[in-house]
Amino acid sequence: MRTFEWCGYEWITQERWGQIHPEKSHWWYDESCVSVDKQNHLHLKTKYNPKRFEEFNLTSPIGVGLVSCTNKFKYGVFSIEAKLPHGKNLWPAFWMWSWDSWPPEIDVFEGYSDNHPNYLKLRLNKPFGFWNLQTNLHYKNGDDSKMVGGKTHYFGFKDPTKYFMNYSVEWAKDYVKFYYDDILVRTIKDEEILKQLDNTTMNVIINNGVIESVDRQYPPESDFVIRNFKYSFG
């Protein structure tokens, strides 16, 4: 694990609990996939880099770049300006989860490239949500977890793998609002969900990722480029 400063905050190059999730064993959090260039752009890559994890009796084939902020955040606006990684079967994300337990979790976006390297996915029932980038929120339901459901949104015609776009969430006591390229795309006001969020602080995470494909053909090297991370309150 490596610790570094970026955009005024301290980050680590893995989840705070470790380098691999045993239920997602086809990837692991590889610090060699994380770098900051001379323009202060953060790069989160994917690459074939097998690593053995004896504690789980498995070898994970793909290293991915993930950074986790060490700050404990409360209400405010969280945003990144980013260019998504290009390639098939990729799963980049910008999200937050509780320092106390899981859930709750706020997904500003999860991108699913599937067989379309630029995340284009046409849906007859939602013709304007043609980029496969989804907002979501996970919360507790008794002893179980639930989610409000992944949802795509319209935010223009620019290819998100070729242009830097703004992705942000405004977390307030009375609502959670999601913005894609400064356009409000979703608002959540469920009182039970907001109560759960009110009782915790959140850990911010940005990561590249890989969807495990049926034919076991993993994507080539990819690069998720983040120009900045910003947090503001009030």
Domain ranges of the chain: 3-232
Amino acid at 174: D
Q: Domain 3-232: give its CATH code.
A: 2.60.120.200
Mean pLDDT computed over 13-22: 96
**Which pLDDT band holds residue 218 (cuts at 50, 70, 90)?**
low
Give the whole-angstrom CA distance, residue 165 versus residue 167.
Answer: 7
For 43, 72, 219, 228, the CA distances from 161, given in Å and listed in that order, are 13, 30, 15, 16
pLDDT given at position 140: 95
Measured distance CA(98)–CA(199) in Å, rounded: 9
Taking only the tens place, the pLDDT of each residue in 101-144 is: 999 999 999 999 998 999 999 877 777 789 999 999 999 998 89
Which stretches within 82-225 are classed as H helix? 191-198
- Long-range contact list for 121-125, CB < 8 A, 24+ apart? 121/152, 123/152
Query: Considering the entire predicted model, what is its pTM?
Result: 0.96
